[in-house]
Amino acid sequence: MSDLYPAGHEGWARLNEAIEHFEEAPAAPHYVVSPAIGLLSVSWDEVIPQPQWEPEHTRPDWDDYFLDIARAVAARADCRRRKVGAVIVGPDHRILSTGYNGAPAGQPGCLSGACPRGLLSYDEVKEFSDYSQGPGRCVSLHAELNAVVHLGKPSIPAGSTIYITDQPCDGCRKAIAAAGITRIITPGGTA
């Protein structure tokens, strides 16, 4: 190939050499040359793969966003059998309160061995069996109840939503309704 730039200009010889080197590569670069200015750009798109960008930035809808936050809250749960998180959100999409299942503040919990239910397998005490008495008695408050208790009813605006990583039990459904929360969202949809 003939030189793109005339000899005698400092640095042009090295540029011409580099261009010829890349022309020998399996996929040659593309040149954009202006007669007035010279070489404007060299693109080695086929030699050096370029990152592929999505045409539009996407983000989760509000329900997916707050369920993801509830999942992160669940990581703090003090339970050997189940980790549940809850997030109460106002109608303006602002987080009002969070909660996870665990013993009341300051009291020993499941992870320290203080919960009789946490010491038993699912074969010994079935999932969703009575939490309040017998060998399956649990010392923890549910995530939904913790979120409601920490916020308090006067602070919950009308039209608020609670996002929970699992289906609420009947007792928690009652507490949620009593708090004035009008929508329950779980990973399976509206509860």
Residue for token pair 């999932």: 127
Active site residue 10: no
Give φ, ψ of 86 to 5 degrees: -140, 145
Q: Please tell me what DSSP assigns to residue 120.
A: S
Task: Report helix, strand or coil for 116.
Answer: coil
Which pLDDT belongs to residue 53? Answer: 63
pLDDT, tens digit, for every residue of 45-62?
A: 545 555 666 667 788 999
Q: Which of 23, 46, 56, 144 is catalytic?
A: 144
Cα 17 from Cα 11, distance rounded (Å): 10
- The arithmetic mean of pLDDT across residues 142-170, rounded, is 89
**More reliable by pLDDT, 153 or 99:** 99
Cα 53 from Cα 127, distance rounded (Å): 45
* Alpha-carbon torsion angle 54, 60, 61, 65, nearest 10: -170
Contact 88, 157 (CB under 8 A): no
Amino acid, single-letter form, for residue 75: A
pLDDT, tens digit, for every residue of 3-39?
A: 555 555 555 566 566 556 555 555 555 555 555 555 5
pLDDT, tens digit, for every residue of 95-146?
A: 999 999 999 889 999 999 998 888 888 888 888 788 777 778 888 889 998 9
Cα 17 from Cα 147, distance rounded (Å): 68
- Model confidence pTM above 0.95: no
